[in-house]
Amino acid sequence: MDVMAARERIFRMLDVDGDGAISRQEYLTRPDHAAVKLGRNVNDPLVAAARLLHDRVYTSMDANGDGMVTFEEYAAWAGAQTFDSVCREALGSLFDLADTNGDHSLNRAEFARLREVLGNAADDARAAFDTLDTNGDGLISRDEYLAAIRDFVSNGASPMYEALVAAGPSDQSAG
């Protein structure tokens, strides 16, 4: 998959209502939605941090400040530098919500819940997990997870995505 196709796949996942734009509300409800689905109280300090980080991401994505991010805006914005400067911590905050014991890693069940909450097919979690768990300890670290997403956004490929493609024909995405 090339970089533009990878960005289009992510854009479609973020455009929850499918209207061709990511609204501010659509994007900023992600942390609260994730918190509820992951069994966290919306008043949890981790949720508050996730909200703040997602607001930063959305503000940087919305180039013209109109509260709607088009694919063109998203495609121009997305990439390694943007990932490193604003997205890494926002996506990391969602990882932290799924990390029920606070050990900075996810077991297979936590990982599957996070993937499903982020709009990925639940049945793809096994292949993605097995690919990221390179040392076979049954855990995926925050850094391993974020590196796979960075690869996908930056290069259009990642080991996690490649495993999902090999596993079957569902609608895979990196996050």
CATH number among 1.20.120.420, 3.40.50.300, 1.10.238.10, 3.80.30.20, domain 3-167: 1.10.238.10
Q: Who has greater pLDDT, 86 or 153?
A: 86
Question: Beta strand pairing status for 105-106 and 140-141?
Answer: antiparallel
Q: Rounded mean pLDDT of 128-146?
A: 89
H/E stretch holding 28 reads: helix 24-28
Give 95-104 pLDDT, tens digit per residue: 999 999 999 9
Question: Beta strand pairing status for 68-70 and 105-106?
Answer: unpaired
pTM: 0.83
Give 37-65 pLDDT, tens digit per residue: 999 998 999 999 999 999 999 999 999 99
Neighbours of 136 (CB within 10 A): 7
Nearest to 92 by CA among 57, 142, 40, 38: 142
Domain boundaries, the chain: 3-167
Distance in angstroms (rounded) separating the CA atoms of residues 32 and 78? 23
